[in-house]
Amino acid sequence: MNIDIPKKFRPLINNAYQVARSSLRPISRKYDRGEHEYPKELDMLASVLDGFNAGDPANSAGAATTGSGKVQNDGSVKNGANMGVCLGAMEMCYGDTGFLLAMPRQGLGNAAIAAVANDEQLERFKGKWAAMAITEPGCGSDSAAIRTTARKDGDHYVLNGEKIYVTSGSRADCVVVWASLDPKLGRAAIKSFVVDWGTPGMELARLEKKLGIRASDTAAINFVDCRVPADNLLGSPDIDTKKGFAGVMETFDNTRPLVAAMAVGCAKASLERIKELLKESITYDYSKPVDNCSAAEAEIYRMEADWEAAYWLTIKAAWMADNKKANTLEASICKAKAGRVGNAITLRCVELAGSLGYTEDELLEKWARDSKILDIFEGTQQIQQLVIARRVLGLSSRQLK
């Protein structure tokens, strides 16, 4: 892996940065206050991102094509869709994390489709905005504890259950729903289904009121005898006790680096802003030992070091995905590091700004609220540490709980 960002991504990074500064930041506070109000300004921006995604997937600017980049069998190293998406997400979240999550046709469900769907499904669901429904009232971090069922009935599956915390759940065209074909068989029977809004038996229960990312709606959805076409099951319908759950879990290998990138972008915004606010009192000198600096200056240096570690861990996990290298360990490492670092940096920047950081005169307090979810969804800190420990020690989930 070359630690220089490829030249082909520089226009993407610059364009996303300009959008973040000129389009997202100015309306950030408006939709933070107006929770559940749809950010209509995103429609035009989403059309621009569609144009990026329709071209070279390596230059994608959104989340829709995460995991769909194809690697040629010529032995060369690829910097493709996953890295492009992560770099774009970093810059977009530098503007506003909630807006990236609310972007039409750029949902985490799209990443799930790209990771698991067959060629026919990829074509059929192309252009749709897909949310992802995993969490249930009795099932949070342990995805294997899902109780939503999918019973085969002729050419359909009948879904029953309740899903909560579905990002863009009410706005998306469809929802990727995790359900069990047979709860008695445990995690091996869990599959993912694409359910279009408007399908009888699919009902919006409520929209949540949240600490942060308020521009993005978060829904609870009920499924009562909801009939879904059998060919909407992503991947193989067969229950493989060795592979079954691993199949749907491959989604996380692509989406966890994306969430890590979001945390990196949000933390970058806070770091940059606190340096601007303290520029009159601090002269930055990176040649000095940290022990010889003022407390505030030393704290900024430490945060920058942590930020850079999170950044490169994220890039590495994305690079591995582009090159079809097993990256479950690296995806969890970057998510754990970036989630924790992003939350710590945004909160510390609020403190360093004093009373100004605690008011709505600055976006620092908003970024601190937004960053918390990035340490929670797509697997909490504790879940990432479990995954990392299992991989490092060579233990199964049954052996290490």
Active site residues: 378
Q: Is the dihedral of CA 260, 262, 263, 268 positive or negative?
A: positive
Of 236, 223, 220, the closest CA to residue 147 belongs to: 223
According to DSSP, the β-strands at 190-196 and 202-207 are unpaired
How far apart CA 54 and CA 396 sit, in angstroms, is: 40
| Cα 170 from Cα 52, distance rounded (Å) | 25
Q: Which residues, at least 6 apart from 296, have a Cβ–Cβ distance to it below 8 Å?
A: 278, 281, 282, 352
* CB of 110 closer than 8 Å to CB of 88: no
What DSSP assignment string belongs to 116-166?
Answer: H--HHHHHHTTT--EEEE--BTTBSS-GGG---EEEEETTEEEEEEEEEEE
Paired with 178 in beta bridges are 192
Q: Are 187 and 240 in contact (CB under 8 A)?
A: no
Q: Are 247 and 235 in contact (CB under 8 A)?
A: yes
